[in-house]
A and B are shown apart, each in its own frame.
Chain A
Amino acid sequence: MKWKLCIISLLTLVSLRAMADDSIYVKPSSPSRYDRRVNRYRKNWGALIPTLFVFQNAGNMGTLSGGIGWDYGRRKQWETELMFGFVPKHQSHRTKVTMTLKENYLPWSIGMKHGWSIEPLSASFYLNTIFGHEFWKQQPSRYPKGYYKLLSTRVRVNIAIGQHITWQIPQERRHMSRSISLFYEVSTCDWYIVSKVVDWGGIPLRDIVGLSFGVKFQTL
């Protein structure tokens, strides 16, 4: 009898426990302050993961430049890119490295068949800096004030307009990126514009604008 009671009470205990596990209602464990902080921390740092990779030639930033970028905005119409490029040695003393911070605005995207789309306008603004002792950000102190009425030989302010064509890679064929865009743009920089303004008739347009081709891989 004693044994019977013992077994019954044990079974009851086990079944009760099982019932508790099976229960639909689980008391919500509210995230602690620490959990919330970690979530925010992950989300904020996660925003820094580049969403795209970009390569382009010319554009007053070197023979070839490549870098990372982020797209954002409700329709992902804004892009910020950080690129590094190089200017080959050619007839100078050494190869030079350039760095570019570029902001693109792509207001429209027109969808087409088979995952293709066209962005009929891209407007860009970018700052390019070239590394080397022969370039200065500001006129060095050896010169009298306002000696060269220039901003900087190191940093060029550029503007560009262009067009993109994008292919959304089908799910099953995606390997590294979600979509690939090919683009071209026509660009000029502050000093080219100044030289044109100083001598409007004497400087041909082809001297101040340049063409670039590029490719963009959308990874996220």
Chain B
Amino acid sequence: MKKLLILLLFSLVSFSSCDDIFKTHPYDVNFKHPHHINAQQIIRIETDFADSDTLRVAFISDTHGWMTHTKQELDMLNERKDVDFVIHCGDLTDTGMRYEFERARDMLSRLRYPYVALIGNHDFLGTGEEAYEVIWGEKNFSFIAGGVKFVCLDTSALEYDYMAMVPDLDYMEYEATRDSSRFDRTVVVMHVPPSSEEFNKNLRKTFRYYLSLFPNLQFCVFGHNHHTYEEEMYNDGLMFYGVGSAEKHQCRLFTITRNDYEVETLYY
């Protein structure tokens, strides 16, 4: 009897290692490779577009659980064939569950272009923050393409109950001068814009000061609000571009040249 019991328990545990049929828990942080996708994609971007005079960067955002819409969005971008790389501005999931992250990862792997993804406030729910770090990597990251440094920041301060320095000002200060010989312009990307209640109100002015440390800051891009929208949030000429959600069938394409940039909204 005891042997039978041990055998049964053992077989139950070994069955559970087949992840696809057995659902252990929505918040089980157990992901097969690839891990740290951003780091791998950044290598691709930095080698392929190191000397580009013109960059064509597509920004998508807030794909959440809308996989059908997201697929249409990615197919539309793939068909264009004129995009250099894609930046996802966060909210890859609705509730930070394991299967949502896996679906988002598998969906984004359809892109023919290299891409990076930011963490959005929804991606923090449950064990989402840990899952994001396993699959995509650090929550703050940067890369340089064609002389432009793209600084991607975690700005979902409310998820930390405003108890952490979010956005990370030390990181911003560090990135303002790191590898300064390789870039002369900067683009800052975030999920939550400073005007949002999710942003840390106490850091709104300070954040603007730290943004001013970046050489030749061109513009800022954000997601979160689900609609295509633009505003000088500090009334000082610095543009903030909001990227629409997958459900709204909207995304942005920026063409960044040596002296200027152009922005267009893509509907599909």
Interface residues in chain A, defined as those with a beta carbon under 8 Å from any beta carbon in chain B: 55-64, 87-88, 90-93, 96, 98, 130, 134-135, 140, 142-144, 148, 150, 153, 156, 175-176, 187, 189, 191-192, 195, 198-199, 201-203, 206-215
Which chain B residues (59-80) contact chain A, with CB distance < 8 Å?
65-71
Residues of A within 8 A of B161 (CB): 140, 142
Report A-chain residues with C-beta under 8 Å of the C-beta of B8: 55, 215
Q: Is the beta-carbon distance between A87 and B9 smaller than 8 angstroms?
A: no
Given A199-B66, A202-B67, also A87-B21 (CB < 8 A): no
- Among B16, B97, B162, which residue has its beta carbon within 8 angstroms of that of A57? B16
A-side contacts of B197, CB under 8 Å: 144
Determine the chain A residues whose CB is within 8 A of the CB of B15 once the complex forms: 57-58, 213
Q: Does B206 sit within 8 A of A, measured CB to CB?
A: no
Q: Is the CB of B12 within 8 A of A156?
A: no
Interface string of B11-51 (1 = CB under 8 A from A): 11101100011111111111100000000000000000000
- The reply on B83 being an interface residue by CB < 8 A is no
Using a CB–CB distance below 8 Å, which chain B residues touch chain A?
1, 8-9, 11-13, 15-16, 20-31, 65-71, 94-97, 99-100, 103, 122, 125-127, 129-130, 134, 158, 161-162, 197
Nearest B-chain residue to A214, judged by Cβ: B12
CB-based contact A176/B31 at 8 Å: no
Q: Identify whether the interface residues of B are mostly helix, strand, loop, or mixed.
A: loop
Closest chain-B Cβ to A135's Cβ sits at a distance in Å of: 6
| Chain B hits for A93, CB < 8 A | 130
Q: Assuming the A-B contacts A55-B8, A176-B1, are A92 and B127 also in contact, with contact meaning beta carbons closer than 8 angstroms in the complex?
A: yes
Report if A63-B103 is in contact (Cβ < 8 Å); known contacts: A91-B130, A210-B23. no
A41 to chain B, nearest CB (A): 33
Determine if B12 and A213 form an interchain contact, defined as CB atoms under 8 angstroms apart. yes
| CB pair B126 A58 closer than 8 Å | no
A-B contact pairs, 30 of them (CB 8 A): A56-B12, A57-B15, A58-B15, A58-B23, A60-B23, A62-B24, A62-B25, A63-B13, A63-B16, A64-B12, A64-B13, A64-B16, A87-B27, A88-B28, A88-B30, A90-B29, A91-B29, A92-B130, A134-B127, A150-B95, A156-B26, A187-B23, A192-B99, A199-B66, A202-B66, A202-B68, A202-B69, A210-B23, A211-B22, A214-B12
